[in-house]
Chain A
Amino acid sequence: MKNLPNLIGLIVLAFVTNLALADETDVEQIVSQANHVAFYQGKDGRAESRMLITDGGGNKQVRQFTILRKDRLTKDNSTQNDADQDFLVLFSRPADVRNTLFRVVKHTDTDDDRWLYLPGLGLVKRISSGDKRTSFVGSHFFYEDISGRSLTADKHEIIETTDQHYVVKNIPLNPNSVEFASYTVWIDKHNWMPVKTEYTDSAGKVYRRIEALKIEDIDGFATATRMQASDLRSGGSTLTEMRYIQYDLGLPDDIFSERSLRNPPQQWFKRK
């Protein structure tokens, strides 16, 4: 028992060494930590999100929706492994898509499963998952910006370490599957949040930027509550704000189902 402080000391030392290692060398650990912070905070979550979409001509559109998310556990139900996730998205604005529901099962090793419930037709439509690098609900955010990009899809390289950031350059392993030649992410050293991402085309020109404009601590989790995606070619951009965020609500597995598409689980969707 008297060795306990020593043991703790040893663990702390090991931890610190680990961090130090991460600091300098282990790019995989850095991108994986950033991926966790951006997409896997808590076991589940709820958020209301609003997007202001401005096109190159200055025309504005609004999207508003509530998201429920739950991470799937590993096969033996033991731990989270930052892999598959369930999503339910309930739209409230604009008026013509009000009450439309979108259900996604995100798979990291295969295509996502997607369903759309169209209330006017009472129809549950299954959608082929298709290109993930295309607009999410007409905004300048892509599906991949919302749900994450597979860590194994790119080669990662630290190109700079500043006081504030790890700057990681990512080169796609399959360049034909994406519209960029590479992208660079600025990851905050203190909270692991990817605060800025710039996409570069084959001519070496930055044409697209995603920024976390505001980061808040919510229930102990660093959360980007204000983000912007900019299309530097057209001049259009989308501003997203998240509100009424909660983590670890204890969402049951069975709400991620066809039942919820036809009968949204009000208990979890309503603002607390």
Chain B
Amino acid sequence: MLITRQLALIALLLLCPALASALESSENLTQTDSWSESEGNEWDNEDWGSDEESEHIIHGFVEAAYGTRLHSNQWLDRHDTLNEARLRLDYSHYFGAVYGSYKGDFLVDDLAWNGPFIETQTREALLRFSFSQNSDIQLGRQILTWGTGDLVFLNDLFPKNWVAFFSGREMEYLKAPSDAIKFSYFNKLANIDLVWSPEFDPDTYMRGERFSYFSPLADSIVAAPPRLSVDEPDTGLDDGELALRLYKTIKGYEWAVYGYHGYFKSPVGFDPRSGLNYFPKLSSVGASVRGTVGRGIGNMEIAWYQSEQDRDGTDPFIPNSQLRFLSGYEQELITRLTLGLQYYLEWTQDYDQLKDNSLLPDKEPEEYRHVLTTRINYRSPQEKLTLSLFVFYSPTDDDFFALPKLIYRLSDSWSSEVGINIMGGKEDFTFFGQFEENSSVFTRIRYSF
């Protein structure tokens, strides 16, 4: 069974570029025709595409993706970690002054918990309009992002899909959509973004279906079944999330302050009475700055996470408050080769209370958890090939996560990607160390239209 799957992977790896280049050459023929050296070397007006104003064009892509573990996982039967085919449809249009956009995925996921079946995932369904010269409203399902980190998020508490990220889906899927109203006001003093999500949008967190993880309650690595049982927050109008950003650019430096009121994005709380995990309340405030430093871009970001239900840090079933800090720098070292470095700190407050009350005091992260990240990015001269390596390393946890990746654009329509997620560490309970058995290799081929 195992060998069959590996063969299938190799076949996919070999077949995709071959298939793509075959299709590419047929495409080239038609392109050459439309660019033919006709009279005056003019292109047809149609080749420019008409203004999207008057056209109704559906864009999107078709994609197949496969990923498999680097070594077997004793807690999970399945060796594959990604096995899906996906159709994306994307339509946007200006209806007068109102912009409407829809992006939906139609997915057959062989690893779906109850699947496989055709699943519809609406990624974006929004309306956007300006109700005065200085203000915009964006309403509906949308992808929301702010902050300055590279794969490290402090003040961006919008939902992430960590399962997508660790399984090797396209990077876009790391950001999960929110059902929200975003109100933006622009003025000389400072611009304001206010986002209200009436219903809490949690992260898609590890729940043992695809990947095993460390459970402090079991004091061991676990996986589904049984799935992690979680108590979701209520759905009343005052049970949602509120996020705020004030920002202003001064002499090329982008300054911002942030606020958030909602919940921890994964169910890190545990209720011993019900036996259910839940999302404890969280508030945060923070700030960031980004701008040119020397020959590159520097950024700094800070956030205070207030654990609202455990302010004194004595409840062992709720995380303590934390101060988080990030500093980063990115520069093109030589032509088309970029190096990015980040230092990230999580400073857990009331650490003595945490240790005194913890069920597993020896397995708590250190008071100061340090993480270093490196990104090396190389683009070939015509930007067809991109090689990248991203590494997280924590000297305090003694664990790491390395993500080498190769992206190749075969043509304007066909692109492919191969990558490896390697997690490891000295202990099996640390942030990345717990995922050691989930290390995987993945590949994808995509046709965009």
Contacts and interface: CB of A to CB of B under 8 A. Distances in A.
B145 A60 contact: no
B31 A96 contact: no
Contacts of A213: 41
B412 A123 contact: no
Interface in B40-78: 41, 43, 47-49, 51-53, 59-61
A122 B184 contact: no
Contacts of B232: none
Nearest to A265: B130
Contacts of B47: 50
A223 interface: no
B218 interface: no
B449 A95 contact: yes
Nearest to B293: A128
A257 B184 CA distance: 13
Given A96-B61, A122-B143, A263-B136, A128 B297 contact: yes
A241 interface: yes
Contacts of B382: 53, 55, 135, 138, 236
A61 interface: yes
B205 interface: no
A243 B48 contact: yes
Interface residues of B, number: 64
B411 A59 contact: yes
A62 to B, nearest CB: 6
Given A92-B49, A98-B59, A128-B297, A134 B335 contact: yes
Contacts of A44: none
Contacts of B170: 120
B331 A128 contact: yes
Interface in A250-264: 254, 257-259, 263
A101 to B, nearest CB: 14
Interface stretch (B109-117, B171-179, B341-349, B422-430): B171-179
A58 B28 contact: yes
B28 A59 contact: yes
Interface residue SS majority, chain A: mixed
A197 interface: no
A128 B295 CA distance: 7
A63 B115 CA distance: 40
B412 A94 contact: yes
A52 interface: yes
Interface in A61-99: 61-62, 64, 92-96, 98-99
B235 interface: no
B43 A122 contact: no
Interface of A: 48, 50, 52-53, 55, 58-62, 64, 92-96, 98-99, 105, 111, 113, 120-124, 126-131, 133-135, 137-138, 213, 226, 236, 239, 241, 243, 254, 257-259, 263, 266, 270-271
Given A95-B412, A127-B297, A138-B382, 10 more contacts: A52-B35, A59-B411, A95-B61, A95-B449, A122-B144, A123-B175, A130-B338, A263-B130, A263-B138, A266-B99
* Top 10 closest pairs, chain A to chain B, by CB: A130-B332, A94-B412, A120-B172, A138-B383, A122-B143, A95-B448, A122-B145, A96-B448, A131-B335, A271-B51
25 contacts: A59-B411, A64-B49, A95-B412, A96-B412, A96-B415, A98-B59, A105-B252, A113-B252, A120-B175, A121-B145, A122-B142, A122-B143, A122-B144, A122-B145, A128-B296, A128-B331, A130-B332, A130-B336, A134-B381, A135-B381, A213-B41, A236-B382, A259-B184, A259-B191, A263-B130
